């Protein structure tokens, strides 16, 4: 049974992974029509097309969402996704032809010298072309390949973060989540079980992790029909789930972001969907860390 974000009808997910280099990228392809918004918390985001996703902006639909390693260098991977979409004639219609809309967000997985392999256009296109509706692979894959967690207590406590997915239901509607977890904090279940050995009440950092900037990247999608304003509540509760499962979260060293997607016609209560977004996001974070540890 598919208990991942691809259980939402029409959603496809693809990865490009380089485990030797410790980096990768993941592309989420929602069906059209769709409505998308996003919310950033934390002080170190790296994004593309983020402003377009805010309420009041004219374009509400996207063709794909990119989550990628490589820090700001990795934003170049969106060029390859756009190239592949343009070749298929997909994008926002303009008098000069369709322009693909591909919001993107990055996490920091660069090596100590900042050099080495980084996802670029070819890697982004490969992830897009590999996108399927099969259950999402979890662990050290795609954008979660080089992700790490538990650096708040000192780098000697650092562990693999990874990529994970979760799913929750509200009547006939479903909410799926996908998370690439590269957090400075420790990771816990909703019930408070520590997955990385840290205390539920973190104190001052043992070492300010200047060499490792951090971020958790999340996509929450539902097959319910929601407006951009209503989708905001799913993004809020997804961030709440992050704050419960990652301690501390939303720090000056994190660029945490949630992309929220509506891509269906099912009628459902927005508050119930928001609680489902909390559940699915929490499950995706736990899945990422547990899978990466295997």
Q: Which of the residue ranges 167-171, 195-199, 224-228 would you say has the lowest mean pLDDT?
A: 195-199
Residue 198: predicted pLDDT: 87
Give the DSSP letter of residue 143: G
pLDDT of res. 98: 95
Nearest to 140 by CA among 149, 150, 151, 131: 149
For residue 57, the model assigns a pLDDT of 95
Q: Which of 190, 177, 169 is nearest to 269 (CA)?
A: 169
Dihedral through CA 139, CA 141, CA 142, CA 147, nearest 10? 60
pLDDT of residue 294: 85
Instruction: For residues 3-16, give the mean pLDDT.
Output: 98
Q: How confident is the model at residue 153 (pLDDT cuts 50, 70, 90)?
A: confident
Mean of the per-residue pLDDT values of the chain: 93
β-pair type (104-106, 65-68): parallel
* Strands annotated E in the chain: 12-18, 23-29, 35-40, 47-48, 65-68, 104-106, 148-149, 159-160, 163-170, 173-182, 186-187, 215-224, 246-247, 257-266
**Cβ atoms within 10 Å, residue 156:** 9
pLDDT above 60 for 8? yes
Contacts of 49 (CB under 8 A, 6+ apart): 62, 101, 102, 103, 104
CA angle, 19 then 67 then 47, to 5°:
130
The DSSP 8-state label assigned to residue 135 in this structure reads P
Each residue of 19-67: pLDDT tens digit? 999 999 999 999 999 999 999 998 889 999 999 999 999 999 999 999 9
Q: What is the mean pLDDT of residues 152-169?
A: 92
The alpha carbons of the chain give a radius of gyration, in whole angstroms, of: 17
- Confirm if 273 and 260 have CB atoms less than 8 A apart: no
Q: Is the pLDDT of residue 266 over 60?
A: yes
pLDDT over threshold 90, residue 12:
yes
Residue 214: predicted pLDDT: 80
Give the per-residue pLDDT at 209. 54
Q: Give the Cα separation of 128 and 122 in Å (integer).
A: 10
pLDDT at 232 over 90: yes
Are 31 and 127 in contact by the 8 Å Cβ rule? The answer is: no
> Does the pLDDT at position 202 exceed 80?
no
In the block, tokens 């919001």 appear at 103
Instruction: Tell me which of 43 and 178 has the higher pLDDT.
Output: 178
φ/ψ (deg, to 5) at 110: -70, 150
Nearest Cα to 10, choosing from 101, 132, 126?
132
Check residue 61 and give its pLDDT: 98
Instruction: Quote the CA–CA distance of 150 and 173 in Å, as a whole number.
Output: 35
205 — pLDDT class (breaks 50, 70, 90):
low
Distance (Å, rounded) from C-alpha 140 to C-alpha 134?
Answer: 17
pLDDT digits (tens, 9 = 90+) for 65-114: 999 999 999 999 999 999 999 999 999 999 999 999 999 999 999 876 55
Q: How confident is the model at residue 208 (pLDDT cuts 50, 70, 90)?
A: low
Which pLDDT score, from 0 to 100, does residue 152 have? 84
Query: In 3-state terms, what secondary structure has residue 165?
Result: strand
């Amino acid at each position: 049974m598919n208990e991942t974000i691809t259980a939402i009808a029409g959603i496809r997910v693809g990865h490009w992974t380089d485990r030797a280099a410790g980096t990768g990228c993941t592309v989420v392809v929602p069906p059209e029509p769709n409505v998308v918004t996003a919310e950033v918390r934390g002080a170190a985001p790296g994004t593309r097309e983020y402003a377009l996703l805010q309420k009041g902006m004219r374009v509400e639909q996207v063709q794909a969402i990119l989550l990628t390693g490589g820090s700001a260098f990795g934003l170049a991977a969106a060029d390859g996704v756009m190239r592949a979409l343009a070749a298929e004639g997909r994008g926002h219609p303009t008098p000069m032809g369709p322009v693909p809309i591909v919001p993107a967000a990055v996490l920091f997985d660069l090596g100590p010298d900042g050099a080495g392999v980084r996802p670029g256009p070819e890697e982004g296109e490969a992830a897009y072309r590999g996108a399927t509706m099969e259950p999402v692979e979890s662990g050290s894959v795609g954008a979660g390949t080089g992700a790490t967690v538990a650096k708040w207590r000192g780098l000697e406590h650092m562990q693999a973060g990874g990529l994970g997915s979760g799913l929750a239901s509200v009547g006939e509607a479903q909410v799926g989540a996908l998370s690439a977890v590269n957090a400075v904090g420790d990771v816990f279940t909703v019930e408070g079980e520590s997955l990385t050995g840290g205390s539920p009440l973190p104190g001052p950092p043992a070492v300010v992790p200047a060499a490792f900037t951090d971020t958790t990247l999340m996509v929450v999608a539902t097959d319910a029909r929601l407006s951009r304003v209503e989708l905001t509540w799913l993004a809020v509760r997804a961030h709440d789930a992050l704050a419960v499962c990652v301690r501390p979260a939303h720090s000056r060293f994190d660029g945490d972001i949630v992309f929220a997607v509506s891509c269906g016609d099912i009628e459902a209560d927005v508050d119930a969907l928001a609680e489902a977004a909390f559940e699915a996001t929490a499950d995706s974070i736990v899945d990422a860390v547990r899978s990466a540890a295997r």
